[in-house]
Amino acid sequence: MITRRHLAAGLALGAALPGMARAQGYPTRPVRVVIPFAPGAATDILSRLMAEQLGAALGQPFVAENRTGANGGIAAEMVAKGPKDGGMILTGTFSTHGTNPHIYPRTPYDAVTDFAPITLIATVPQLLVVNPDTGIDSVAALRTMAAASPGRIIAATGGMGSSQHLSAVLFERAAGVRFEIVNYTRGFAQVLPDLLANRVNLTFGDPLALLPMVREGKLRALAVTSEQRSHLLPDVPTMAELGLPGATSLTWYGLFVAAGTDPAIVAKLGEAAGAAIRRPEVAARIRELGANPVGNTPAEFGAFQRAEFARWGQVIREAGIRAE
């Protein structure tokens, strides 16, 4: 006897079969992996690593291409408004999917509703460093000096709304201090000569980029902004260990397709990408970049990205950070 339950189950299965069939055959042609930043950067390296792994796993070339501009906005808009068939994947970042839409009033995409998340590739903490000539040898000493002379300590960043800028803002809020924050207009490379000359006193930055100068004694590492210590600098404490959990933050990299892509294709991509990231040799390569491999599910990554978007929106609004 066919019951209503059997009928409903049959209808649901029938509705799912076309999507399952498309996913089983996916991909039938090369897939584009769109990279929002320039060749050589961490986004580029991770994207090409994932393209190689996905191509090997799914039997079609995954072709990486750089589409730079608008702090990642050109690539993000391209994928958001592109085909909804899994033929184009975006490597989204902390900037494109966490902060840009709150900073730039005319961002041409919705970071939450225009995309379907696939997986979080990796996260990277910021490293707080000072010039040793400041005499500051700990976060406690930094807080004491900054509290005694508000605005005396100069914090340099790679640009307004950059991860370095937002990390400095979070630290100020968590520690109850105020820096003189200088946002360099030509990026983080412009910061280092002035920091090494002690014309500016501190910065937050990528641990891998700063590690050589820390090892040479040119810079002093005070803390990392992740919840766990960095494998690159295991002796450097976290902000939470130092009583500043509110200064915890991460930059991150993840894969997205356009919203409306068949969920079965999203699931297939998520499974393949997650399995690749968890492979020991791939995870080791990611760690060499100073990053922490993740490889979670589409649902988990979606929850993470929405939380990041909401958190940074509040921080940016309260700090009055906005591009004109």
For 233-268, what is each residue's pLDDT tens digit? 999 999 999 999 999 999 999 999 999 999 999 999
Q: Is-contact 50 33, C-beta < 8 A?
A: yes
93 pairs with which residues across the strands? 253
- 27 closest CA partner among 63, 55, 49: 55
- Phi, psi (deg, nearest 5) at residue 88: -140, 125
Whole-angstrom distance, CA of residue 290 vs CA of residue 286: 7
pLDDT tens by residue, 41-67: 899 999 999 999 999 999 999 999 999
Q: Is-contact 104 227, C-beta < 8 A?
A: no
Task: Indicate if the alpha-carbon torsion angle 30, 112, 42, 100 is positive or negative.
Answer: positive
Predicted TM-score of the model (pTM): 0.90
pLDDT tens by residue, 109-118: 999 999 999 9
pLDDT tens by residue, 264-301: 999 999 999 999 999 999 999 999 999 999 999 999 99
Q: Collapse the DSSP code of 79 into the 3-class scheme (helix H, G, I; strand E, B; otherwise coil) and give the result.
A: helix
Whole-angstrom distance, CA of residue 323 vs CA of residue 160: 8
Q: Is-contact 132 220, C-beta < 8 A?
A: yes
Q: Is-contact 138 222, C-beta < 8 A?
A: yes
Sequence-separated (6 or more) residues with CB below 8 Å from residue 286: 46, 49, 121, 122, 277, 292, 293
pLDDT tens by residue, 149-189: 999 999 999 999 999 999 999 999 999 999 999 999 888 88
31 pairs with which residues across the strands? 62
Structural domains present in the chain = 30-124+250-319 (3.40.190.150), 127-247 (3.40.190.10)
What b/e sequence results for 254-267 when a residue is b if at least 16 CB atoms lie within 10 Å of its CB, and e otherwise?
bbbbbeebbebbbb
